[in-house]
Chains A and B, each alone.
Chain A
Amino acid sequence: MLPAILATTMFSHAAAASEISENLDISGFARGVAGYLDHNSRTFEGYTDELSIVEQSLIAIQPTYTFNDQFSLTSQLIAHAGDDRNSGLEWLYLNYHPDSAWHLRAGKLRMPFFIYSDSIDVGYSYPWVTAPVQVYNNYLFSTFNGASASYNHSGSEVGLNVEIYSGTFDGDIYLAGTRIDVDAKVSNLAGIVATINSNNLSMRLSYHTGQNDTTVPLIQDLREALYQNNFIESAQSLESSGNVYALQASLSYDRLNSFYKAEWIQTVTGFEIAPKVTGAYAMAGYIWNDWTVHATYSVSKYSEIEPVIELPTTPIGNPGIDQLSAAYYQAFTATPNGTLDSYTLGTRWDFRLDMALKAEVSKFQESRNPSGFFVNSGQSSKESAYLYQVAWEWIF
């Protein structure tokens, strides 16, 4: 399906965005990504030791209808090659530009967690084939329903951009790039993003919070059973409703022939079952004519979580209690509490104004296991693997 759409689009469109009518503009982007994991028994971000082209390949169409100088309507429709991510309407929002400083949006929007999180599907917009997974693939959801307001102003020496948003989320959630089979709900979602830039140095700080109302059926059943058997503290330790906070900071520096970026995020919850998650990367890139080479170090770290010692830790001969104990302690031991380091070397060739080819190799190494990224991973050994990827990026 995806190749057919790609071929049709490539041959029927000019290189630039198409202005269908005076008010309707259609643009889009596509990426073809192939990856191979050098590990014979593990899966990482959907990649195995068989060459795959479906994990991140996609095509998207973005129609924008302009009503007048101040109002427009934008939507984005994405077709993913893989089944793991839902294809369809990625965002749909009404724009209001009262002047060049203010921008208000309302509708289905992208979460502005990180520098590239709202353009993560537009591979052309960043240097990597895959943005550092410890930061970009460790967050739970990418869109929300609500509104945002942003204000920007450049003074004589410093530029400032501030965005605030508010809304709700109801849908699929992802952890380590994998869809989790729960109906996630986050209410009172709000955040602020501030970006300050001067002399090609840019600093971005953001704070995000929300009320998590997600229920995981298996955990919910276990909590009920614990309450019924009067293990109140144990039941309360499996609570997953409450506030979640995320704090992000990043620095970017651009020079004519080189660029540097560092980004950090920490997510904290009030739940005993959810560890604190920290992710970060630092990268440097060098540009020579149409070629870019870059190197990145990334890391993610989960904090330790401790179960309440209320249930017996060894079998006591009571099948009901022993089963409850096993399930309760298993819920804690199955939660990732490890550290994943990675080293990436990559290159990008901007061979056309609207297209780029990329290649990169990453070494992923658990310095403490389980990191949560290696699927089918036993908890007895630290995992390590090389991931090789090539990509073709196109904007139109």
Chain B
Amino acid sequence: MKKLLFFCVIALVFNPLQTIATVASNQIIIVANLDDHTDNLTREQVRNLFMGASIGRNLEPVALPPHNHTRSLFNAKIIGMAEQRIQSYWAQMKFTGRFTQPKEVQSEQEMLVYLRNNKGSIGYLTADTNIPQGLHIMLSSE
């Protein structure tokens, strides 16, 4: 027990910022490039939008690749399904021609660049991300 406490203290002393950032980054924000900065979405709408459905607005969902930490958080907090179940879902959608998988970017940095450059795009990031001007947070995970 003493050893465990010791390692915890050492970890906090030597890497306090990262530890605090890790706690903060367990929250997800849904960010969009829209003119209307008062617009918001519910979890259900975000979930359905990223599962291929229409929410009646001209939004282009953008996803991070499987096994990305932010994507795993998004799966847990918004989609509510494990990655392999999501992959099975997309196999069914693809080979029955029903829905198309969201566009994928390779990193959070690429996500920010894509969102900033494409009006109507919507993506997810961790809550500790600095959101540049022009982008709008539409939902924060609980």
Contacts and interface: CB of A to CB of B under 8 A. Distances in A.
B126 to A, nearest CB: 18
Contacts of A384: none
Interface in B39-98: 42, 44-45, 48-49, 53-56, 58, 66, 75-76, 80-82, 84-85, 87-89, 91-92, 94-98
A74 interface: yes
A40 interface: no
Contacts of A197: 48
Nearest to A150: B98
B95 A119 contact: yes
Given A119-B96, A256-B80, A292-B84, A161 B91 contact: no
Interface in A100-148: 100-101, 103, 105, 110, 116, 118-119, 122, 124-127
A131 to B, nearest CB: 12
A116 B81 CA distance: 18
A95 B97 contact: yes
A350 B87 contact: yes
Contacts, number: 98
Nearest to B55: A154
B88 to A, nearest CB: 5
Interface in A270-293: 287, 290, 292
Contact of B82 (A99, A119, A153, A287): A287
Contacts of B95: 27, 29, 60, 62, 76, 119, 122, 125, 395
A110 B54 contact: no
A153 B54 contact: yes
A232 interface: no
Contacts of A74: 97
A74 B45 CA distance: 29
A199 B96 CA distance: 24
A158 B44 contact: yes
A370 to B, nearest CB: 34
A395 B96 CA distance: 13
A74 B94 CA distance: 11
B82 A152 contact: no
Contacts of A76: 95
B54 A100 contact: yes
Contact size class for B? 20 to 34
B56 A153 contact: yes
A200 interface: yes
A252 to B, nearest CB: 11
A79 to B, nearest CB: 15
Which of A99, A103, A118, A159 has the most CB atoms of chain B within a 10 A radius of its CB?
A159
A155 B76 CA distance: 21
A157 B96 CA distance: 26
Nearest to B65: A353
B136 to A, nearest CB: 18
Interface string A71-102: 00010100000000000000001010001110
Contacts of A290: 84
A159 B53 CA distance: 8
B84 A254 contact: no
A125 B44 contact: no
A101 B80 CA distance: 23
B82 A154 contact: no
Contacts of B45: 154-156
Contacts of A27: 94-95
A147 B138 CA distance: 38
B49 A154 contact: yes
A255 interface: yes
Interface string A254-268: 111101000000000
Interface in A57-71: 60, 62, 64
Contacts of A356: 84
B44 A103 contact: no
A126 B97 CA distance: 16
A255 B95 CA distance: 24
B41 to A, nearest CB: 8
B40 to A, nearest CB: 10
Nearest to B52: A152
Given A158-B44, A256-B76, A395-B94, 5 more contacts: A100-B58, A105-B97, A124-B87, A152-B53, A199-B44
19 contacts: A27-B94, A62-B95, A101-B56, A116-B92, A119-B92, A119-B95, A125-B91, A126-B88, A152-B53, A153-B54, A153-B55, A157-B44, A159-B53, A197-B48, A200-B80, A256-B81, A257-B82, A356-B84, A395-B95
- Top 9 A-B residue pairs of the complex, sorted by shortest distance between their CB atoms: A154-B48, A125-B92, A350-B84, A101-B54, A100-B54, A119-B92, A125-B91, A156-B42, A159-B48
